[in-house]
Amino acid sequence: MMADMLDPGEVRFFAGSSNGPLAVDIAQLLGVPLDGVAVTKFSNDNLYIQLGGSVRSREVFIVQSLSPPVNDHLMELLMMLDIARGAGAKAVHAIIPYFSFARSDKKDAPRICITARLVADLLETAGATHVMTMVLHSPQVHGFFGVPTDPLASRQAFNRYFLACDLTGAVVIAPDLGHAKAAARFAKDLGLPVAAGNKERLSDTQVRVTSIVGPPLDAFRCAVVYDDEIATGGSVVELCDRLIQEGISDIRVACTHGVFVRNALARIAAIEQVKEIVTTDTVYMPPERRDPKLRVLSAAPIFADAIRRNYCRQSIGHLVACGDADSV
């Protein structure tokens, strides 16, 4: 057994029901089997879960994205963590490619829950000794966890893809000023200028882009709209409308987490000037729901490299998002 490889006899790799294909890809890259998990529901809607392999004194890795239905997938994950801990696992690693609760990071109204902190506490209580995720929506969420937590960057996947594209005359656009720092880092990697939308959120689904901060857009023919996640697509659609008004005729949309609820993917793809929508597979989308404009990049190599390095006690500093929530 090579020193920098996982020992299949010492690890157990499981997946919840949210993103099995990504878990399969990670396990294959690591050279370990993906053990089975029995997930059923009783007549009263209670979950029944059984891990399909002994975990005693082993390193256990559980892959589960917190994608819709979020609460069901969270409960699955908590139960799997508790099972592994109760069955004598040496360490329990929660691999959460998409941590959706990161959006609930502050108390901005009376009598509400900072859900990201609550869920972080629940993961630790359930038995997680280590958490690995990708591109947290808010950087402060990292500090909510009481166990070692690695928020990985998706930069490698996006850089590799976009550096192979013809981006002559392009500018990187952040959807709002809060994402400007991350967009600036992404733009620097691509050797492009950067701008940001001045956005006002009206509701969960409605936003208004009042202006674009940065160089005059009439100097560019192409824009790469860069976001950490797209859910309803309201921000992206509004920003694209503004870019079209400014004369941009070639728009590429990039986001780490393509949640795409409420027909968001179809709404964005229907914009003629949007040439492609690029995301990763942290949120699983079945092939029949994908639009021809959608490009899905694999996050498996990044997770596999981080897991292997963590297992072999090697640094993963170059894989971790450095201070900004949505470092691609």
Token output for 74:
């969270």
What are the two backbone dihedrals, phi and then psi, of residue 305, each rounded to the nearest 5 degrees? -65, -40
d(CA 53, CA 32): 13
Residues 67 and 8 sit within 8 Å (Cβ to Cβ):
no
Per-residue pLDDT of the chain (328 residues; tens, 9 = 90+): 445 788 999 999 999 999 999 999 999 999 999 999 999 999 999 999 999 999 999 999 999 999 999 999 999 999 999 999 999 999 999 999 999 999 889 888 899 999 999 999 999 999 999 999 999 988 889 999 999 999 999 989 999 999 999 999 999 999 888 788 889 999 999 999 999 988 766 565 566 776 888 899 988 999 999 999 999 999 899 999 999 999 999 999 999 999 999 999 999 999 999 999 999 999 999 999 999 999 999 999 999 999 999 999 999 999 987 644 444 3
Residue whose entry in the numeric block shows the structure tokens 């780490």: 256
* 37: β partners: 51
Q: What is the pTM of this model?
A: 0.93
d(CA 306, CA 315): 9
Dihedral (C-alpha) 70, 257, 318, 4: value to the nearest 10 degrees?
Answer: 60
Residues 212 and 195 sit within 8 Å (Cβ to Cβ):
yes
Domains of the chain: 11-154+300-319 (3.40.50.2020), 156-297 (3.40.50.2020)
Query: Which active-site residues does the annotation give?
Result: 199
Identity of the amino acid at 97: P
Three-state secondary structure of 202-244: CCCCCEEEEEEECCCHHHCCEEEEEEEEECCCHHHHHHHHHHH
